[in-house]
Amino acid sequence: MTSNQSDSTHIEEAPVVLISGGSRGLGLSLVDKFLDMGWRVATFSRSKTAEVEQREKEYGSSGSARFVWLAVDSSDEDQVRLAVKTIVKSWTRIDALINNAGTGNDGLLALQRMQDVDQLINVNLRSAILLTQLCSKSMIRNGRGSIVNISSVNSVRGHSGVAVYSATKAALDGLTRSLARELGARNIRVNSVAPGYFESAMVGELSDDAKKRIQRRTPLGRLAESDEIAEAVYFLASDQGSFITGQVLVVDGGLTC
């Protein structure tokens, strides 16, 4: 067997993870973590970033691809269905799903437009339910799998101005607990990770005073790095968390304790 054939065989045996919204921020950190651990990684987002292009050059070479990016609007059901079908056809299975794609929209509920409410529900919740439904079919056929939903501390603590966002994340946690019961007998684990405030585009919009207030309220005295959130997600998605299911792991530096 040549070295190229050996590399190809090794890659074909690597587990497969689908990460929604992996082009930037936490999603990109998740992509990097799973790639570093030797997984085959598929992700999608609406647009391609320079970071995605770099991963394609490094991991997406012809014949030995370990990274695939697809252009998908997560609120478009047909596009999501086609993406999952494409991944399963290429790599025969999906071992883990990370429901990371999401959007935020601050504002008092009484003043929000229903079209903005619908967008939050469609992107944060409906698309995650659809992805889970599609990927769980592959996992059931394979007799094992892991699903991790990216929730939020807003699902466990109330904050003004994020009522609908919080509702979508709390719904993900409810989905997690019920699906853990539903899929446990199929050897499929379902968990949530609820990040606190971490360095991201959303936090970048906060004023310096707001960031300092958050840091003062956080026992560890700082914001998280996205890599720290990714470590927790990988733990739950991989065999390291093989006897953990139906749980919401809060990663917030003690903010909600």
Q: How far is CA 30 from the centre of its chain?
A: 7
Instruction: Judge whether 165 counts as a catalytic residue.
Output: yes
DSSP 105-144: --S-GGG--HHHHHHHHIIIIIHHHHHHHHHHHHHHHHT-
Q: Which residues pair with 149 in a beta bridge?
A: 99, 192
Q: Which helix (H) or strand (E) element contains residue 203?
A: helix 201-204
Radius of gyration from C-alpha coordinates of the chain: 18
Q: How many CA atoms lie within 13 A of 52 on its CB side?
A: 20
Contact 241, 189 (CB under 8 A): yes
Quote the CA–CA distance of 257 and 220 in Å, as a whole number. 11
Question: Long-range contacts for 109-112 (Cβ within 8 Å, ≥24 apart)?
Answer: 109/163, 109/164, 112/164
Going by C-beta distance under 8 Å and a sequence separation of 6 or more, which residues neighbour residue 191?
A: 146, 147, 148, 149, 176, 180, 236, 241, 244, 245, 246, 247, 248, 249
Contact 189, 146 (CB under 8 A): yes
Catalytic residue list: 165
